[in-house]
């Protein structure tokens, strides 16, 4: 064995690898990161998109907080979040960021109780459970709402998110609207100081914890509870009705006047049959795509993908219990996608979108 | 006499205790192996090894992306750490008294103690941010840094063990110094150096933390070292915390593959070093 030759070989191989076609960026690949709330949907959409177009969209569900952060660092092509950026947050970016709505979902209250009963809960009871003031499942405030159920004398274990999360934002945004105490004590944010409970990473982690912990209660996107056969609570909305989170009650909650930039919170809806903890979920991109030496090709791929997601991609929403975008919101989405530019020129014209 | 007997009894009792504790200390490993075999073996089949993951919540699919990813990451780490590690090891062995040797030995020992997650963050700052993308390369850099001190240490130790006479004989015959190192010393210590490299691979193949913000993961098959890539430990981490039972099963299967890979590396290492 000639060691000197070995070194030469290793050196040659590394030079080869760096210059080989393997390393050349062919821009047949896009990278996104963020929300776990729409992860089930995106993972299906991008699988289908790969089969249709051969473009690989690598989506990593690291939480909305992480998605926003990585977009700011410009390490991803798009971020994803179910918490829209506030005006203050938008100012922290050095360029304009666009919100493109993709789907509507619901944050559901799920729990692990013997026999998987269907609970009815009111906003104040939910707030007090997550504040740690209601400690037992047979607390009179829960049993009086569910007289037909026999609830066990069991401690309630609260499960919440440990990472920066849009799902958390939607949930605490709702609690802040319905409970003064929540608003002053805990408040809003993608991660908040939880008074009680265990933390799980991502919607996946919270679902996993609830599934494995008898007596626990947590909040996740509807599809996670459904796929794992966990029960979900009916929540009393503003009109006094107990609403089960499903496609129709989410769709009803989403049918509102949406502003031009689509940044809207639809929690605590006025609609009599709307589920009160529903939310839009967005993809976040930079308006001007020529940053950090990005190629025009990459910008084109991104615009094509987004266009596909709000049109053809929508057919994957309902089978996975995410509501489709209402027509007026699709129109707004089109307008926003058309405003994406490369060197100041609109990109959509280059990819054959009219 | 009785005092003598007492000492024999004492000695016997202690040796029984020691034997017992030695046996007990192998239990954790045996239990790990047992659980991984029990849960993992049944998952492994042709589809599992040769196909890509399915969308979340759908049954079927495999972990080909992660197997290829780990192979690529380890290769990059090897390319980066082995040449530097061996050369530095030679220097430390040959010039062990100099100040530079003292400092670099100290630094490499400290580097070995740096938590791997910290090395991950460093690779993020050094590679991901300047390139602007998560990439296999950045993951390989992180793993290479972790492996570097292991290669340096094993090369240095093995070269120091080689009898001085060998080197002196070579020099006395008029062989130039660099040739003495390359053609006499290194071949003599080759099995030891190889052992160090293999131990290093076994160490980095299972690292998760340094890959979280470098290799980043990829549900598709990727050979591009400038793009994100999947890896076995990353996949195990994501699948294990998920709520899906078929993902748990896949995490067991992937753990099984990883453990067997590392185990066989360790066995090969053993064979090489006993043959020496």
- The CATH superfamily label for domain A106-278 reads Periplasmic binding protein-like II (3.40.190.10)
**Nearest C-alpha in B relative to A208:** B243
Residue B48 pLDDT exceeds 80: yes
Cβ separation of B244 and A228 shorter than 8 Å? yes
Query: Which pLDDT does position B276 carry in this prediction?
Result: 53
Q: Among residues A60, A88, A91, A64, which one has the least CA distance to residue A76?
A: A60
Convert the pLDDT of each residue in A170-184 to its tens digit.
999 999 999 999 999
Contacts of B180 in chain A (CB under 8 A): none
Which position has the token pair 């980066």? B80
Would you call B132 and A43 a contact, using CB atoms and an 8 Å cutoff?
no
Is B217 within 8 Å of chain A by CB? yes
Q: What is the percentage of chain B residues whose pLDDT exceeds 90?
A: 86
Given CB atoms, is B190 within the 8 Å cutoff of chain A?
Answer: yes
- Residue B213, chain A, CB below 8 Å: the answer is no
Find out whether A250 and A323 touch, Cβ atoms under 8 Å.
yes
Confidence of residue B242 (pLDDT cuts 50, 70, 90): confident
Q: pLDDT class for B275, splitting at 50, 70, 90?
A: low
pLDDT confidence tier of residue A4, bands split at 50, 70 and 90? low
Count of pairs with CB atoms under 8 A, one residue in A, one in B = 97
Which domain, by its residues, includes B78? 62-275
Instruction: Report chain B residues whose CB lies below 8 A from the CB of A11.
Output: 83
Contact A227/B at CB under 8 A: yes
Within 123-152 of A, beta carbons closer than 8 Å to B belong to none
Give the pLDDT confidence of B80-107 residue by residue, as tens digits: 999 999 999 999 999 999 999 999 999 9
Q: Do A40 and B56 touch (CB under 8 A)?
A: yes
Nearest chain A CA: its distance from B81 CA (Å)? 11
Using pLDDT thresholds of 50, 70 and 90, give the confidence band for residue A20. very low
**What pLDDT, on a 0 to 100 scale, did the predictor assign at position A293?**
83
Is the pLDDT confidence value at A23 over 80?
Answer: no
B53: in domain: no
Choose the closest CB to A208 out of B83, B226, B243. Answer: B243
For A44-53, the pLDDT digits (tens) are 999 999 999 9
Percent of chain A, pLDDT > 70? 92
Whole-angstrom distance, CA of residue B31 vs CA of residue B20: 17
Q: Which carries the bigger pLDDT value, residue B59 or residue A156?
A: A156
Please indicate if any CB of chain A lies within 8 Å of the CB of B220. Answer: yes
Report the alpha-carbon distance of residue A282 to residue A124 in Å, rounded. 29
In this structure, the strands spanning A120-121 and A234-236 are parallel
Say if A5 is an interface residue toward chain B (CB within 8 Å): no
Facing residue for A73 by CB, picked from B129, B190, B224: B129
Instruction: Look at A3 and B55 and tell me if their CB atoms are within 8 Å.
Output: no
The Cα of A222 is separated from the nearest Cα of chain B by a number of Å equal to 13
Residues in A touching B134 (Cβ below 8 Å):
31, 75-76
Q: Chain B contact for A295, CB < 8 A?
A: no
* Interface contact A1-B225, CB threshold 8 A: no
Q: How many helices (H) and strands (E) does chain B have?
A: 12, 0
Instruction: Please check whether residue B25 lies inside any domain of the structure.
Output: no
Q: Determine, yes or no, domain membership for B135.
A: yes
Q: Is residue B2 in a domain?
A: no
Q: How far apart are the first and last CA of chain A?
A: 64
Q: What is the C-alpha to C-alpha distance for residues B251 and A28, in angstroms, rounded to an integer?
A: 29
Chain A residues in contact with B225 by the CB 8 A cut-off are: 17-18, 22-23
Q: Which of B58, B128, B225 sits opposite A22 (nearest CB)?
A: B225
Contact call for B82 and A10, based on CB within 8 A: yes
B228 CB neighbours in chain A (<8 A) are 31, 58, 60
pLDDT band at A35 (very low <50, low <70, confident <90, very high): very high
| pLDDT tops 80 at residue B166 | yes
Architecture of domain A26-105+279-350: 3-Layer(aba) Sandwich (3.40)
Q: What is the predicted pLDDT for the residue at A87?
A: 94
B176 and A CB contact within 8 Å = no
A39 touches chain B (CB under 8 A): yes
pLDDT at residue B246, as a whole number = 87
* Alpha carbon distance B49, B41 (integer Å): 12
Domains of chain A, by residue range, sit at: 26-105+279-350, 106-278
- Measure Cα distances from A67 to A85, A166, B182 in Å: 12, 10, 50
Residue A17 has pLDDT above 60, yes or no: no
Residue B201's pLDDT band (cuts 50, 70, 90) = very high
Tally of residues, chain B = 276
State the residue for tokens 């080197």: B167
Which of A11, A26, A30, A47 is the best substitution to test chain B (most B C-beta atoms within 10 A)?
Answer: A47
Assign residue B161 the CATH number of its domain: 1.10.3720.10
Q: How confident is the model at residue A300 (pLDDT cuts 50, 70, 90)?
A: very high
B223 contacts on A by Cβ (under 8 Å): 22
Q: Is the pLDDT of residue A144 over 60?
A: yes
Considering all CA atoms of chain A, what is the largest pairwise distance in Å, rounded to the nearest integer?
Answer: 83
Summarised one tens digit per residue, pLDDT across range A188-241 is 999 999 999 999 999 999 999 999 999 999 999 999 999 999 999 999 999 999
Residue among B176, B192, B243, B248 with most chain A CBs within 10 A, to mutate: B243
Nearest chain A Cα distance for residue B269, angstroms: 19
Express each pLDDT in A256-299 by its tens digit.
Answer: 999 999 999 999 999 999 999 999 999 999 999 999 888 999 99
> Given this model, what pLDDT does residue A1 score?
46
Q: Percent of chain A having pLDDT more than 90?
A: 88
Rounded percentage of chain B residues whose pLDDT exceeds 70 = 99
Q: Rounded distance, CA A37 to CA A203, Å?
A: 6
pTM for the structure as a whole? 0.87
Domain count, chain B: 1
- A26-105+279-350 and A106-278 have identical folds: yes
Predicted pLDDT at A22: 45
């Amino acid at each position: 064995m000639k060691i000197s030759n070995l070194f030469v070989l290793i050196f040659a191989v590394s030079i080869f690898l760096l210059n080989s076609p393997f390393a050349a960026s062919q821009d047949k690949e896009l990278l996104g990161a963020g929300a776990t709330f729409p992860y089930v949907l995106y993972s299906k959409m991008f699988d289908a998109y790969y089969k249709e177009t051969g473009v690989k969209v690598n989506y990593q569900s690291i939480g909305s907080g992480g998605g926003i952060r990585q977009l700011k660092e410009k390490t991803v092509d798009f971020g994803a979040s179910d918490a829209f950026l506030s005006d203050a947050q938008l100012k922290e970016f050095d360029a304009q960021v666009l919100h493109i709505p993709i789907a509507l979902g619901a944050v559901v209250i799920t729990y692990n109780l013997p026999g998987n009963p269907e609970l009815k809960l009111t906003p104040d009871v939910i707030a007090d459970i997550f504040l740690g003031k209601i400690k037992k499942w047979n607390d009179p405030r829960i049993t009086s709402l569910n007289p037909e159920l026999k609830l066990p004398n069991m401690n309630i274990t609260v499960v919440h998110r440990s990472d920066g999360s849009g799902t958390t934002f939607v949930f605490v945004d709702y609690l802040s609207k319905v409970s003064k105490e929540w608003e002053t004590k805990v408040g809003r944010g993608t991660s908040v100081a939880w008074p009680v409970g265990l933390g799980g990473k991502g919607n996946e982690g919270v679902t996993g914890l609830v599934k494995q912990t008898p007596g626990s209660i947590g909040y996740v996107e509807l599809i996670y509870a459904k796929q794992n056969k966990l029960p979900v609570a009916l929540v009393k909305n503003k009109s006094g009705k107990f609403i089960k989170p499903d496609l129709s009650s989410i769709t009803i909650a989403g049918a509102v006047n949406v502003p031009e930039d689509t940044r809207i919170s639809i929690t605590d809806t006025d609609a009599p049959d709307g589920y009160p903890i529903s939310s839009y979920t967005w993809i976040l991109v930079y308006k001007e795509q020529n940053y950090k030496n990005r190629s025009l090709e990459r910008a084109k791929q991104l615009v094509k993908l987004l266009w596909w997601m709000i049109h053809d991609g929508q057919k994957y929403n309902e089978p996975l219990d995410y509501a489709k975008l209402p027509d007026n919101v699709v129109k707004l989405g089109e307008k926003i996608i058309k405003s994406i530019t490369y060197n100041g020129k609109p990109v959509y014209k280059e990819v054959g979108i009219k | 006499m009785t005092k003598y007997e007492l000492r024999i009894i004492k000695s016997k009792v202690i040796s029984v205790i020691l034997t017992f504790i030695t046996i007990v200390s192998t239990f954790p490993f045996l239990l790990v192996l047992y659980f991984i075999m029990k849960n993992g073996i049944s998952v492994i089949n042709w589809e599992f090894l040769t196909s890509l993951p399915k969308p979340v919540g759908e049954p079927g699919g495999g972990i080909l992306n992660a197997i290829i990813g780990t192979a690529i990451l380890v290769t990059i780490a090897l390319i980066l750490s082995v040449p530097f590690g061996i050369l530095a090891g030679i220097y430390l062995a040959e010039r062990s008294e100099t100040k530079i040797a003292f400092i670099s030995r100290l630094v490499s020992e400290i580097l070995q103690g740096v938590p791997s997650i910290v090395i991950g963050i460093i690779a993020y700052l050094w590679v991901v941010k300047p390139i602007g993308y998560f990439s296999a390369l950045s993951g390989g850099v992180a793993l290479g840094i972790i492996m570097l001190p292991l290669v340096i240490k094993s090369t240095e130790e093995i070269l120091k063990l080689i009898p001085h006479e060998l080197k002196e004989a070579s020099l006395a015959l008029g062989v130039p110094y660099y040739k003495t190192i390359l053609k006499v010393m290194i071949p003599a210590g080759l099995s030891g150096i190889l052992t160090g490299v293999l131990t290093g691979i076994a160490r980095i193949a299972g690292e998760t933390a340094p890959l979280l913000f470098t290799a980043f993961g990829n549900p598709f098959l990727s050979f591009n070292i400038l793009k994100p890539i999947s890896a076995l430990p990353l996949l195990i981490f994501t699948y294990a915390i998920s709520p899906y039972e078929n993902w748990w099963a896949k995490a067991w299967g992937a753990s099984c593959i990883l453990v067997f890979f590392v185990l066989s590396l360790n066995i090969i290492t053993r064979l090489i070093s006993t043959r020496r």
